[in-house]
Amino acid sequence: MDPSARTHLRVADGGPVLLDLEYYPQMNFHRCLDLIKIRPAAKRSTPSISGRKFRTQPRLATLLLCCVFVLFGCSETEMSIEQIRTFQAQGYYELTIDPLRVRIDRGERDSETLLLYGIALTRSNLYSRALWPLKEAARDPEHFVPAMMQLAGSAYATGNHDLAIEILGEVLDQEPEFLPALRMRTFARLHSRRDYEGALEDAEHAIDLDPQSTTMLAPRIVALFGLERVEEAKEALDEFADRPVEPDAVEDEMTERVRALACVARAKLAEEEGDLELAGERYDACVEEFPAQGIAVHEAMAFFGTGENGKGDRFDEILKAAYESAPHDRTFRIAYARRQQLLGDTDVARSVLEEASVFGYPGAMLDLAGFLNNTGDVEGALEVYREAMGEGASGAAFLLAFGEALISAGEFDEALLVADETGPESHKAFIRGRVALKRMEYEKALEYLTQGVLLWPDNAVARYYVALAAEGVGEFDRAIEEYRNSLRIDANAAESRKRLSMLHLAEGDPWAALYILNYQTQKREALHNTDELALLELEALAWVGRAQQLPRELQERISQPRFWGAAIAALAKGMGRRNGAASAVALIKSADRLNLASPAAAPALRELIKNLAELGKTSDGIEYARAAATTNPQNPESQSILGGALLLAGKLDEADAMFVRALTLDAAHRAGLVGRARLATERSQPSEALGFYDQVAKVNTEVLRGRAEALALLGREAEAEAELTRALSESPYDGPAADQLVELKRMRGAEESEIRALVARATRFGVGEPAKPSPESSEPEPVSPSS
Tell me the backbone φ, ψ of residue 7, rounded to 5 degrees: -120, 150
Whole-angstrom distance, CA of residue 132 vs CA of residue 104: 12
Query: Other C-beta atoms within 10 Å of 613: how many?
Result: 19
Burial 242-274 (b: 16+ CB within 10 A, else e): eeeeeeeeeeeebbbbbbbbbbbbbbbbbbeee
Structure confidence at residue 770 (pLDDT): 42
Residue 579 has pLDDT above 90, yes or no: yes
What does the pLDDT average to over 229-236? 82
pLDDT at 62 over 90: no
Mean pLDDT value across the chain = 82
pLDDT of residue 616: 96
Q: What does the alpha-carbon distance between residue 417 and residue 340 come to, in Å, rounded to a whole number?
A: 35
Structural contact between residues 462 and 432, judged by C-beta atoms closer than 8 angstroms: no
Number of Cβ within a 10 Å radius of residue 589: 13
Alpha helix segments (H runs only) across 50-195: 56-72, 81-89, 94-105, 111-123, 127-137, 144-157, 161-174, 179-192
**Does 34 score more than 50 pLDDT?**
no
* Domain ranges across the chain: 244-323
- pLDDT at residue 280 is higher than 70: yes
> Distance between CA 49 and CA 25 in Å, rounded?
16
Q: How far is CA 600 from the centre of its chain?
A: 31
Determine the pLDDT at residue 244.
Answer: 61
What is the model's pLDDT at position 252?
52
Q: How far apart are CA 673 and CA 668, in angstroms?
A: 7
State residue 249 phi and psi, 5-degree precision.
-75, 140
CA-atom Rg of the chain in angstroms = 31
pLDDT attached to residue 42: 36
Torsion, Cα of 360, 366, 369, 371 (10° steps): -100
pLDDT tens digits, one per residue of 493-514: 889 999 999 999 999 999 999 9
How much is the average pLDDT of 743-758?
90
Residue 299 phi/psi, 5-degree rounding, is: -70, -40
* Residue 568 contacts residue 537 (beta carbons within 8 Å): no
User: What percent of the chain lies above the pLDDT cut of 70?
Assistant: 84
Residue 387 confidence (pLDDT) above 80: yes
Give the span between the Cα atoms of 571 and 577, in whole angstroms: 10
Neighbouring C-beta atoms of residue 517, cutoff 10 Å? 23
- Within 13 Å of residue 286, how many CA atoms lie on the same side as its CB? 30
Determine the Cα–Cα distance for residues 503 and 497; give it in Å rounded to an integer.
Answer: 10
Taking Cα atoms as reference points, which of 692, 735, 686 lies closest to residue 708? 686
pLDDT digits (tens, 9 = 90+) for 326-341: 988 888 898 899 888 8
Question: Is residue 77 scored above 70 in pLDDT?
Answer: no
Who has greater pLDDT, 511 or 211? Answer: 511
Can you tell me the mean pLDDT for 397-426? 89
Task: Give me the count of residues in the chain.
Answer: 787
- Give me the pLDDT at residue 255, please: 63
Q: What is the pTM of this model?
A: 0.64
Q: What is the pLDDT of residue 645?
A: 97
What residues does 28 pair with on adjacent strands? Answer: 17
Instruction: Give pLDDT, residue 12.
Output: 28
Q: pLDDT-derived band of residue 242, with 50, 70 and 90 as boundaries?
A: low
More confident call, 187 vs 2: 187
What per-residue confidence (pLDDT) applies to 587? 94
How confident is residue 222, by pLDDT bands cut at 50, 70 and 90? Answer: confident
Least confident of 72-86, 563-577, 674-688, 707-721: 72-86
The H or E element containing residue 11 is strand 11-12
pLDDT at 260: 79
Question: In 273-411, where does DSSP find H-type helix?
Answer: 276-289, 294-305, 312-325, 330-342, 346-359, 364-374, 378-390, 396-408
- 60-69, 411-420, 547-556, 645-654: which has the minimum mean pLDDT? 60-69
Predicted pLDDT at 771: 42
Question: Does residue 72 surpass a pLDDT of 80?
Answer: no
pLDDT band (50, 70, 90) for residue 243: low
Q: What pLDDT, on a 0 to 100 scale, did the predictor assign at position 482? A: 96
26: which DSSP letter? -
Q: Is residue 40 pLDDT above 70, yes or no?
A: no
CA 115, 117, 123, 126 torsion-angle sign: negative
Q: Check whether 18 has a pLDDT greater than 90.
A: no
Q: What is the identity of the amino acid at 7?
A: T
What does the alpha-carbon distance between residue 656 and residue 683 come to, in Å, rounded to a whole number?
A: 11
More confident residue, 230 or 614: 614
- Which of 297-306, 597-606, 622-631, 643-652 bottoms out in mean pLDDT, i.e. has the lowest? 297-306
62-71, 577-586, 763-772: the lowest-pLDDT one = 62-71
pLDDT of res. 375: 84
User: What's the rounded mean pLDDT across residues 277-296?
Assistant: 89
Contact by Cβ (8 Å): 618, 641 = no
pLDDT value at residue 365: 85
DSSP 142: G
